[in-house]
Amino acid sequence: MNSHNFTNLQEFIVRYIEFSETDFRAVIPYLQIIRLKKGEVFIAEGEVANRIAFTNKGYLRVFINHDGEEITRDITPLHSFATALPSFITQEPSCEVISAITDCELFILSKQHLELLYDNYPKWERLGRRIIEDMFVDAQLRLNQFITQTAEVRYRYFLKRYPDMMHEVPLKYIADYLGIKLQSLSRLRKNMEWY
């Protein structure tokens, strides 16, 4: 039934923990594959996030409605996990929205099934811990940059780290991600040395 190609997911996982084929197979019956068109919503505002997505194809973004304006707080790299984590963790309605920047193919795992894995496979709980640790370190790095660097430096870092996004992700979202206005990013790009 589920003879899909999960190579990307498997490669993602083994960067965190040694996982046999058997360890991995535990998740397969629970994985659901969905496709989103550009602009479609994965987690809506006010909805309780009860599933997590692995981006097998395409880019998601996390945004917040702030004074009637959408502010993108995060962009999900290819081949990584995304959900509205505060809602996923607390099971309260999400104030974050997750939607597709490009057409996406997602592997979906429900919270219920994830907890089943956590309960029955300590290795999966360890994997979960390691992934979230890594996400936290990333978030810290980003905070460091907000505190110590100019928008231009943050932009350069973004380009270096996610070169593929340059072509797929509109500048508006990147500007939001950097914490500046689109017009400021545009100005900054104009004045930048492009070595």
Partner DNA sequence: CCAATTATTTAACATTTGTTAAACAGCTTA
Partner DNA sequence: TAAGCTGTTTAACAAATGTTAAATAATTGG
- Residues in contact with DNA by CB under 7 A are 150-152, 170-172, 179-190
> How far apart (Å, rounded) are the C-alpha atoms in residues 42 and 64?
14
Distance between terminal CA atoms of the chain?
50
Beta carbon nearer to DNA, 27 or 98: 98
Quick one: what does residue 108 bind among DNA, a second copy, none, with the CB cut-off 5 to 8 Å set by partner type?
A: none
In the bound complex, what is the minimum distance in angstroms from residue 116's beta carbon to a second copy?
Answer: 14
In the bound complex, what is the minimum distance in angstroms from residue 190's beta carbon to DNA?
Answer: 4
Beta carbon nearer to DNA, 26 or 182: 182
Beta carbon nearer to a second copy, 37 or 146: 146
Query: Which residues make up the interface to a second copy (CB under 8 A)?
Result: 64, 66, 71, 73-74, 85-86, 89, 118, 122, 125-126, 128-129, 132-137, 139-144, 146-148, 176-177, 179
Instruction: Answer whether 132's CB lies under 8 Å from 139's CB.
Output: no
Count Cβ atoms below 10 Å from residue 53 Cβ, excluding itself: 24
Q: What are phi and psi of 27, to 5 degrees?
A: -85, -25
In the bound complex, what is the minimum distance in angstroms from residue 137's beta carbon to DNA?
Answer: 24
**Region class of 27: left (phi > 0), else alpha (psi between -120 and 50), else beta:** alpha
Beta carbon nearer to DNA, 135 or 192: 192
Beta bridge partners of 170: none
77 secondary structure, DSSP code: P
> How far apart (Å, rounded) are the C-alpha atoms in residues 60 and 53?
10
In the bound complex, what is the minimum distance in angstroms from residue 191's beta carbon to DNA?
Answer: 8
**What are the residues whose beta carbons fall under 8 Å from the beta carbon of 192, sequence distance 6 or more?**
152, 155
In the bound complex, what is the minimum distance in angstroms from residue 89's beta carbon to DNA?
Answer: 29
Quick one: what does residue 11 bind among DNA, a second copy, none, with the CB cut-off 5 to 8 Å set by partner type?
A: none
Dihedral of the alpha carbons of 1, 107, 94, 123, in degrees to the nearest 10: 90
Beta carbon nearer to DNA, 15 or 190: 190
Quick one: what does residue 182 bind among a second copy, DNA, none, with the CB cut-off 5 to 8 Å set by partner type?
A: DNA
